[in-house]
Structure 1
Amino acid sequence: MPGGESGTPDEDGLEDVQEMTTADMTVYEAVAALNMENRPATVAAVAAMTGFPEDSVRRCLGTLTDGGRLVPEGDAYTLGTHDWGLEY
Protein backbone atom coordinates (compact mmCIF):
# COMPACT_ATOMS: atom_id res chain seq x y z
CA MET A 1 0.00 0.00 0.00
CA PRO A 2 1.42 3.42 -0.89
CA GLY A 3 2.58 5.54 1.97
CA GLY A 4 3.83 2.67 4.08
CA GLU A 5 3.58 3.87 7.66
CA SER A 6 0.55 5.90 8.64
CA GLY A 7 1.02 9.49 7.54
CA THR A 8 4.35 8.80 5.87
CA PRO A 9 4.62 10.09 2.30
CA ASP A 10 5.28 7.44 -0.36
CA GLU A 11 7.85 7.70 -3.14
CA ASP A 12 5.68 10.30 -4.93
CA GLY A 13 5.51 12.47 -1.80
CA LEU A 14 1.84 11.64 -1.21
CA GLU A 15 0.46 10.60 2.14
CA ASP A 16 -1.84 7.60 2.31
CA VAL A 17 -5.33 8.70 1.26
CA GLN A 18 -6.63 7.28 4.53
CA GLU A 19 -4.64 9.97 6.35
CA MET A 20 -6.63 12.80 4.76
CA THR A 21 -9.04 14.61 7.08
CA THR A 22 -12.74 14.58 6.32
CA ALA A 23 -12.53 18.26 5.31
CA ASP A 24 -9.55 17.59 3.02
CA MET A 25 -11.39 14.68 1.39
CA THR A 26 -14.53 16.76 0.92
CA VAL A 27 -12.54 19.57 -0.71
CA TYR A 28 -10.63 17.07 -2.87
CA GLU A 29 -13.89 15.50 -4.04
CA ALA A 30 -15.34 18.93 -4.84
CA VAL A 31 -12.27 19.77 -6.94
CA ALA A 32 -12.59 16.41 -8.71
CA ALA A 33 -16.29 16.99 -9.42
CA LEU A 34 -15.64 20.49 -10.76
CA ASN A 35 -12.76 19.19 -12.90
CA MET A 36 -15.00 16.47 -14.35
CA GLU A 37 -17.57 19.15 -15.26
CA ASN A 38 -14.80 21.23 -16.89
CA ARG A 39 -15.51 24.00 -14.39
CA PRO A 40 -12.68 25.86 -12.63
CA ALA A 41 -12.14 24.66 -9.07
CA THR A 42 -11.65 28.07 -7.48
CA VAL A 43 -11.85 28.76 -3.76
CA ALA A 44 -15.30 30.31 -4.25
CA ALA A 45 -16.59 27.38 -6.33
CA VAL A 46 -15.30 24.79 -3.84
CA ALA A 47 -16.72 26.78 -0.91
CA ALA A 48 -20.12 26.96 -2.63
CA MET A 49 -20.07 23.23 -3.38
CA THR A 50 -18.98 22.13 0.11
CA GLY A 51 -20.63 24.79 2.26
CA PHE A 52 -17.26 25.39 3.97
CA PRO A 53 -16.05 28.94 4.69
CA GLU A 54 -13.49 30.17 2.14
CA ASP A 55 -10.74 30.31 4.81
CA SER A 56 -11.29 26.62 5.55
CA VAL A 57 -11.26 25.79 1.85
CA ARG A 58 -7.99 27.71 1.42
CA ARG A 59 -6.39 25.72 4.27
CA CYS A 60 -7.51 22.42 2.77
CA LEU A 61 -6.39 23.43 -0.72
CA GLY A 62 -3.00 24.37 0.72
CA THR A 63 -2.67 21.05 2.52
CA LEU A 64 -3.72 19.11 -0.57
CA THR A 65 -1.36 21.12 -2.79
CA ASP A 66 1.56 20.68 -0.37
CA GLY A 67 0.83 16.94 -0.32
CA GLY A 68 0.81 16.73 -4.12
CA ARG A 69 -2.88 15.82 -4.35
CA LEU A 70 -3.82 19.07 -6.14
CA VAL A 71 -2.02 21.32 -8.58
CA PRO A 72 -2.71 25.07 -8.64
CA GLU A 73 -3.43 26.51 -12.09
CA GLY A 74 -3.90 30.26 -11.83
CA ASP A 75 -6.66 30.82 -9.31
CA ALA A 76 -8.06 27.28 -9.72
CA TYR A 77 -6.93 23.75 -8.85
CA THR A 78 -6.74 20.45 -10.72
CA LEU A 79 -6.12 16.92 -9.51
CA GLY A 80 -2.51 15.96 -8.96
CA THR A 81 -1.07 12.47 -8.92
CA HIS A 82 -3.38 9.90 -7.40
CA ASP A 83 -3.54 6.15 -7.28
CA TRP A 84 -7.22 5.62 -6.70
CA GLY A 85 -10.29 6.17 -8.84
CA LEU A 86 -13.20 8.54 -8.48
CA GLU A 87 -16.64 7.79 -9.82
CA TYR A 88 -19.21 10.53 -10.39
Structure 2
Amino acid sequence: MSEGHDVQALSDVDIHVYEAVASQAVGTGGAGFGALVRTSGLAEDELRASLARLVEQGYVVPRGDGYGLGPHTFEVEY
Protein backbone atom coordinates (compact mmCIF):
# COMPACT_ATOMS: atom_id res chain seq x y z
CA MET A 1 0.00 0.00 0.00
CA SER A 2 1.45 3.35 -0.89
CA GLU A 3 2.09 6.22 1.49
CA GLY A 4 -0.98 8.23 2.36
CA HIS A 5 -3.47 5.34 2.45
CA ASP A 6 -5.55 5.79 5.55
CA VAL A 7 -8.28 3.25 6.23
CA GLN A 8 -10.03 5.88 8.35
CA ALA A 9 -10.55 7.96 5.20
CA LEU A 10 -12.84 5.29 3.72
CA SER A 11 -16.63 5.64 3.73
CA ASP A 12 -18.61 3.80 6.39
CA VAL A 13 -19.79 1.26 3.79
CA ASP A 14 -16.25 0.65 2.53
CA ILE A 15 -14.95 0.20 6.08
CA HIS A 16 -17.78 -2.25 6.76
CA VAL A 17 -16.90 -4.25 3.63
CA TYR A 18 -13.15 -4.09 4.39
CA GLU A 19 -13.84 -5.47 7.87
CA ALA A 20 -16.01 -8.23 6.40
CA VAL A 21 -13.16 -9.24 4.08
CA ALA A 22 -10.64 -9.02 6.92
CA SER A 23 -12.71 -11.15 9.29
CA GLN A 24 -12.81 -13.98 6.76
CA ALA A 25 -9.35 -13.53 5.25
CA VAL A 26 -7.57 -13.82 8.60
CA GLY A 27 -8.64 -17.44 9.00
CA THR A 28 -8.84 -18.62 5.41
CA GLY A 29 -6.74 -16.20 3.37
CA GLY A 30 -9.72 -15.03 1.36
CA ALA A 31 -13.39 -14.18 1.36
CA GLY A 32 -15.89 -15.43 -1.23
CA PHE A 33 -18.49 -13.06 -2.65
CA GLY A 34 -21.45 -15.10 -1.33
CA ALA A 35 -20.01 -15.10 2.17
CA LEU A 36 -19.43 -11.36 1.95
CA VAL A 37 -23.07 -10.80 0.96
CA ARG A 38 -24.18 -12.75 4.04
CA THR A 39 -21.61 -11.20 6.38
CA SER A 40 -22.06 -7.60 5.26
CA GLY A 41 -25.84 -7.63 4.90
CA LEU A 42 -25.49 -5.37 1.85
CA ALA A 43 -27.26 -5.69 -1.47
CA GLU A 44 -25.06 -7.35 -4.11
CA ASP A 45 -24.80 -4.16 -6.21
CA GLU A 46 -23.71 -2.07 -3.22
CA LEU A 47 -21.20 -4.74 -2.20
CA ARG A 48 -19.75 -4.97 -5.73
CA ALA A 49 -19.39 -1.17 -5.90
CA SER A 50 -17.60 -1.07 -2.55
CA LEU A 51 -15.30 -3.96 -3.47
CA ALA A 52 -14.46 -2.21 -6.75
CA ARG A 53 -13.47 0.95 -4.83
CA LEU A 54 -11.42 -1.05 -2.32
CA VAL A 55 -9.64 -2.97 -5.09
CA GLU A 56 -8.96 0.25 -7.02
CA GLN A 57 -7.40 1.81 -3.92
CA GLY A 58 -5.41 -1.33 -3.05
CA TYR A 59 -7.09 -2.17 0.25
CA VAL A 60 -8.54 -5.42 -1.12
CA VAL A 61 -7.18 -7.70 -3.85
CA PRO A 62 -8.97 -10.26 -6.00
CA ARG A 63 -7.95 -13.75 -4.91
CA GLY A 64 -9.26 -16.71 -6.89
CA ASP A 65 -13.05 -16.57 -6.72
CA GLY A 66 -12.98 -14.10 -3.84
CA TYR A 67 -11.04 -11.32 -2.19
CA GLY A 68 -8.15 -10.92 0.21
CA LEU A 69 -6.50 -8.04 1.99
CA GLY A 70 -4.07 -5.89 0.07
CA PRO A 71 -0.72 -4.89 1.54
CA HIS A 72 -1.19 -2.93 4.73
CA THR A 73 0.94 -1.40 7.46
CA PHE A 74 -1.43 -2.12 10.32
CA GLU A 75 -2.36 -5.28 12.18
CA VAL A 76 -5.75 -6.93 11.72
CA GLU A 77 -6.94 -9.20 14.54
CA TYR A 78 -10.15 -11.22 14.63
TM-score past 0.5 threshold: yes
* Structure 2: unaligned runs, 5 residues or longer: none
Moved over 6 A (4+): none
CA contact (8 A) 2:55 2:61 kept: yes
Q: Percent identity?
A: 37
* Structure 1: unaligned runs, 5 residues or longer: 1-10
CA contact (8 A) 1:13 1:67 kept: no
* Equivalent position of 1:82 in the other structure: 72
- So what's the TM-score if we normalise by structure 2? 0.86
CA RMSD of aligned residues (A): 1.9
How many residue pairs are counted as aligned between the two chains? 78
Higher RCO structure, 1 or 2 (CA under 8 Å, sep 6+) = 2
C-alpha distance in 2 between matches for 1:47 and 1:26: 12
- So what's the TM-score if we normalise by structure 1? 0.77
